Amino acid sequence: MTSAFPPLKNDLLLRAARGEETERAPVWVMRQAGRYLPEFHEVRAHHSFFEVCRTPALSMELTLQPIRRYAGLIDAAIIFSDILVVPQAMGMEVQMNPGPYFPDPLVTPADVEKLTKHVDVDKELGYVYEAITITRKALDGQVPLIGFCGAPWTLFSYMIEGGGTKTFQKSKTWLFKYPEESKALLMRIADVCVDFLVGQIKAGAQLVQVFDSWAGELAPHDFEQFSLPYLKHIATNVRSKLAAAQIPAVPMTLFPKGANTALASLAEHAGYDVIGIDWCIEPSEARRLVSDKVALQGNMDPNVLYGGKDAIEREAKRMCEGFKGGKSVKGWIANLGHGITPGRPGRPPLVLRMCAQILD
C-alpha cells in the first residue's frame, strides 16, 4: 500500500514525533484548515460542513488550502474532517449550525440502546479513508498527512450534552450517577476509535492524533478513571491491530487539553509517542515532567495571534527557547496550544516563520 504513495520529501514531523533531534522544529497549526482562510469560506459558501467531510474531493481541497497558501512554512497536513463523525457512525444525528448540535442526545443510559450495536466502521467512515488516500497522493510527498479522532471522554460529552457546554453538567451527571454505564459507553466509543484510526493509517495517514479537548474538565482522579483507560486502550489496540495486519506503526499523538497534572503519568503509561500541551504550562516544566519519554507538541496561546507583530515575535521566541533545551531541538513539534480561532487573525505565517528560525 505505502509503496503506492509518492516518497516523502519532508519528514521533520515524523522524526520529531519519534523524539529525534531535528535541524529545526516542524510546524503545523491545529485547525489549520478553517474559517480564518478566505478560500475556506469560498468552498463553505456552496457546501454544508458535513457535506464537505463526506465528499473526499472537497475534504482534500480544504486539507490542501493551508499547504498551498503557506508552502514551505507548514510541515504537515491534517485531513479535513471532524471528531463528530464518530458519533454519526455510531448512529447519532449531528448537525453543525454553526456549532455542533445533536437533535437527539443520550439522556439516560437506556438511550444507549439507540446506538448501532455493531458499527461497521470501515463502511460508515470509508469516505474519510478515501479522502486520506487521494489527499496523500495529491500532497506528492511534500509533507506528511495527519489522521485523527476524538478521545472517548470528549466524544462522550458531546453525545450526552448534545453540543458544546460550559458546565459539563449532563455528561458529569452520567459519570457520577451511572459510572458503570458510562464506562461501558466510553469503551464502545474507544473501540470505534481503534478501528477508525487503523483504517486511516491503512488509507495513508502517516501520524494520528487523538483530541481529548475536554480532558481538563475532569478532576485528576476522574481523568484516571474516565479518560486515561480508554486513551490507553486506543494506543494499545491500534498498535496490536496494525502489527497483526503487518502494517508498519505510525507515531501517535495525544492532545489531552488541560490535563497538565497528568503529564508525567501520560508520558509513562498512556502509550503515545507525542503529547500535545496547551499554554497553561511552561515548556520547560512540561519537558521536566515527561522527561525524554515522549515528544512534545505545542503550545502557544492562539490569542497571541491577536496581539500584533511584536507580541507574536516575543511569544514565539519565548516558546522556542522554552522547548529548545540547549542548542538543539529534540522531540518538539511547534504548534498552538489549541486550535486557531476563526477570527481571521491573519498572522499564522509569521508565527510559523518564527518557529522555523529556531536555530538561527
Ligand X SMILES: Cc1c2[nH]c(c1CCC(=O)O)Cc1[nH]c(c(CCC(=O)O)c1C)Cc1[nH]c(c(CCC(=O)O)c1C)Cc1[nH]c(c(C)c1CCC(=O)O)C2
Binding site for ligand X (CB under 6 A): 30-35, 44, 49, 78, 80-84, 96, 98-100, 148, 164, 211, 213, 339, 342
Query: Counting Cβ atoms within 10 Å, is residue 219 exposed (0-12), middle (13-18) or buried (19+)?
Result: exposed
Measured from the CB atom, is 182 or 213 closer to ligand X?
Answer: 213
Measured from the CB atom, is 35 or 293 closer to ligand X?
Answer: 35
Q: How far apart are CA 115 and CA 87, in angstroms?
A: 9
Measured from the CB atom, is 159 or 270 closer to ligand X?
Answer: 159
CA-closest candidate to residue 252, choices 27, 17, 25, 30: 17
Measured from the CB atom, is 81 or 206 closer to ligand X?
Answer: 81
Minimum CB distance to ligand X, residue 160 (Å): 14
Minimum CB distance to ligand X, residue 341 (Å): 8
Minimum CB distance to ligand X, residue 156 (Å): 12
Place of cell 520547560: 284
Cβ(28)–Cβ(13) under 8 Å? Answer: yes
Q: How far apart are CA 194 and CA 235, in angstroms?
A: 8
Minimum CB distance to ligand X, residue 128 (Å): 11
> CB-based contacts of 70: which residues, under 8 Å, 6+ apart?
348, 349, 352
Measured from the CB atom, is 153 or 332 closer to ligand X?
Answer: 153
Instruction: State which residue has the least CB distance to ligand X.
Output: 213
Q: Catalogue the active-site residues.
A: 31, 35, 44, 82, 158
